[in-house]
Amino acid sequence: MEEIITYEEVINQHKDEIVGAVIEAVKEIENNPAAILSRLTGGLDEKLNELGKDLVCKALENMENEIYESDERLSEGWTSHKKNQSKTLSTIFGQIEYERRYYERKKENSDQKEYTYLVDDLFGIERHQKMGALVETRMIDLAAENAYAYSGMMAAYDTKFTDTTVMNKVHQLDDLEDKLSAKKEGNQKKAVDVLYIEADEDHISLQNGENTISRLVYVHEGYKDSAFSEDGKRRELKNVQYITGRYKESEEIWLKVLDYIYNNYHFDEIDKIFIGGDGAPWIKEGLGWIKGSKFVLDQYHLNKYIMSATAHMSDYRFRLWNALHDLNKSRVSKLFSELILEAEDEKRKERIRKARYYIYRQWEGIRNYIEDEDAINPSAEAHVSHVLADRLSSRPLGWSLIGMDRMSKLRAFKFNGGSSKDILELIEGRKKKKKKRNLIEKMTAKKPSHSLLKNKYGEKKENVPVLKRGKKNGSFQAVNYLAYN
């Protein structure tokens, strides 16, 4: 059996270089204190990543040796077909290359043979896989905030991935909502007196020169008690949940909203439910889905139309606001008639008529906001900007339909509290299940001591020799690292 290098031996091999980098950094700091950050994060970064690569590579090769020496392999008829078969894999430390054996055995009741890399099967490394799951996770995490090209450059140390690679990984995220909602299934339903639903949309440019929309609906329980958020700029919403994406029919997103409310609140015990927004038909359609809900017009759009109608006659602005606050529709009508009469040209008259039409159509939403003390001014415009536009439409980008849908959902996933760990679990859980090898099935007698290893590799690898030992040697430590990579 080839020698198994322990954790301590791997560290010792790199110790001198790491210590040397520290000494050089200290000398540089003494001569130039301003260089402390660059020195400590520069030279040390490179040395520590080399250590990480060596550790992971040796762990894989050591595990290969343990499989080769195991009685289980022999009893299941696996024989070495080729040795020293190299595999390249990108990890967060950089690219590693390790060697393993290619095994063969006769198929049951057949003269044909089957072939596999047992160590790759053990760790769920697919035949054409080029990167570890943690690299993919970091790539997606970065892409939620940054351009694909930048995300591909920063996902792993000293390794660059194309923007197409990053895009494809984002496009595969078709189950983000299910992943996060599954985490909340065990939560107890809450009882609230008032629930708020707000909605708006982001207009996004497509690669073909056309535009599409990503709808955003979010549910919350009002404002937090604190006057401002942690950044001191805006008030925070309480228990907010974002739902977004490219829904062809508005009923699809309202069904998602309804599911969320029913799954998280005692629906029949809610006294009031407000649906706020700019009054678009698809938003008001929510009134038909959410029993007992009332529409509230956001003051941003109301003010927008009042400003448009009084652009050249500002003295009417205050009078119009007063009439609306008093819910005096006849006075509002009279003021609009005067504005039209005094307008200098047909273009201005048409703008005033448009504002009047909008306000008449949204009268119930204006009334609900003014009359109900529990109603609050919807802030959907700001949330669209924060959750969607910052990544999707505020830059000169052209998206595919699937790309804008996945990115919208990824952004909402992050704002809803989705973590890197959630994405990692999703990526691992989405991997195609490979045909179980009898050898691997025999390695299930004991549970692994590391829960993350179990989460990643399931119960197929629980009796791997290195994990059976009491002593946590180098292979054990490195295998545990692989649960993240």
Q: Using the predicted structure, report yes or no on whether residue 275 has a pLDDT greater than 50.
A: yes
What band does 469 get if pLDDT is binned at 50, 70 and 90?
very low
Q: Residue 148, Cβ neighbours under 10 Å: how many?
A: 23
What band does 224 get if pLDDT is binned at 50, 70 and 90?
confident
Residues forming a β-bridge with 203:
213
pLDDT of residue 426: 84
Q: Contact at 8 Å (CB) between 404 and 214?
A: yes
Mind listing the pLDDT tens digit for each residue in 77-96?
999 999 999 999 999 899 99
Angle at 189 between CA 188 and CA 190, to 5 degrees: 115
Mean pLDDT to the nearest integer, 41-67: 81
Q: Using the predicted structure, report yes or no on whether residue 232 has a pLDDT greater than 80.
A: no
Q: Using the predicted structure, report yes or no on whether residue 122 has a pLDDT greater than 90.
A: no
Q: Residue 31, Cβ neighbours under 10 Å: how many?
A: 8
pLDDT of residue 48: 80
pLDDT of residue 41: 56
pLDDT of residue 47: 78
Higher pLDDT residue, 180 or 333? 333
Q: How far apart are the first and last CA of the chain?
A: 27
pLDDT of residue 459: 38
Task: Provide the whole-model pTM.
Answer: 0.78
Mean pLDDT to the nearest integer, 276-282: 96
What band does 447 get if pLDDT is binned at 50, 70 and 90?
very low
Higher pLDDT residue, 458 or 400? 400
pLDDT of residue 199: 97
The set of long-range contacts for 218-226, using a CB threshold of 8 Å and a minimum separation of 24, is: 218/242, 218/243, 218/380, 218/383, 219/195, 219/243, 219/257, 219/260, 219/261, 220/195, 220/196, 221/192, 221/194, 221/195, 221/196, 222/194, 222/196, 222/376, 223/376
pLDDT of residue 287: 96
Q: Using the predicted structure, report yes or no on whether residue 255 has a pLDDT greater than 90.
A: yes
> Which H or E run includes 297?
strand 293-297
Range in 108-112, 186-190, 314-318 with the lowest mean pLDDT: 186-190
pLDDT of residue 465: 41
Range in 84-88, 101-105, 334-338, 479-483 with the lowest mean pLDDT: 479-483
Higher pLDDT residue, 179 or 138? 138
